[in-house]
Amino acid sequence: MNEQAPLESRVITVTSGKGGVGKTTLTANVGTALAQLGRKVVVVDGDIGLRNLDLVMGLEHRIVYDIVDYVEGRCRLRQALIRDKRAPELFLLPAAQTRDKTAINPQQMVLVCDELRQEFEFILIDSPAGIEQGFQNALAPADVVLVVINPEVSSVRDADRVIGLAESQGKQQIYLVINRVVPVRVKKQEMLSVDDITEVLSTEIIGIVPEDEAILSASNRGTPVVCNGKGPAALAYRDIARRLNGEQVPLEAPQSLGWLQRLFGR
């Protein structure tokens, strides 16, 4: 695994427009999964003032300096980076909690990412909700934009807006992640299907993550599900990481299991 050729560094911004759709969880899990694949990864919390990526990853007690401290010259970049020992090369660059989104501007974010590119193959930025400066900061350095949506009307509408804004900034690699899919409800036609969403947004899909109870207990513990989980969300996050890592992994809409399959665990 370690013998794979090094990759040209890429900045991947995780965004959505709407809040609460699973950006932070996705960033934590896909970042961790990429590091498990042997890549050098840093996850950056772009949500200044409302930081949470540290909490979801269980690294909150180790924060001394943050991204604003670095930008304002109070520390070196190395000092602000927190190593996550669960993978060989995984780091977190935390957001400041006591400042607001205007503490950093898009040009500064581009400079920070240029620094990070020297050391890392994957730089994942967890964008804040909304389309204001925090989002603009996260978008500016992006090579790849992952738009997280839930199969629900307000989330899809906001995603369309975000995709439009990313395109207007010249971003060409924009992919959708459909999060919290409940196959049984899709089957009953109570929930938008993957096909419905593809048709409405005409954007390529890079991942479909089923609703999974394991996510809540994982964030309760501060341990992303990809660390040891075997449930549907963990599998889906790992697949997304493998696709970002250049592997061909077929994309399948999750199926609802029959009672027999459920009984015998597939």
Partner 1 sequence: MEALNRLFTKSNSAQIAKQRLQTMLTYDRLEIPPGMLTLIKDDIVAVISQRVSVDREHVNVNLLHEQDSSKLVVDIPLIVGRGARTLRSAGAPGAR
Q: Which residues bind partner 1 (CB under 8 A)?
A: 152-153, 156-157, 160-161, 164, 186, 188-193, 196, 199-200, 202
Q: Are 120 and 41 in contact (CB under 8 A)?
A: yes
For residue 129, the minimal CB distance to partner 1 (Å) is: 18
Nearer to partner 1, 71 or 162 (CB): 162
**Which H or E run includes 147?**
strand 144-149
Nearer to partner 1, 15 or 32 (CB): 15
Reading the block at residue 109, the tokens are 């974010």
For residue 146, the minimal CB distance to partner 1 (Å) is: 20
H helices of the chain, in order, are: 23-36, 53-56, 67-71, 77-80, 106-117, 133-139, 153-168, 183-187, 194-201, 214-221, 232-244, 259-263
Alpha-carbon span 196 to 208, nearest angstrom = 13
Nearer to partner 1, 157 or 243 (CB): 157
For residue 189, the minimal CB distance to partner 1 (Å) is: 4
For residue 196, the minimal CB distance to partner 1 (Å) is: 5
Nearer to partner 1, 190 or 247 (CB): 190
Reading the block at residue 97, the tokens are 């909690």
For residue 185, the minimal CB distance to partner 1 (Å) is: 8
Nearer to partner 1, 143 or 160 (CB): 160
Tell me which residue of 19, 67, 39, 173 sits closest to 31, measured CA to CA. Answer: 39
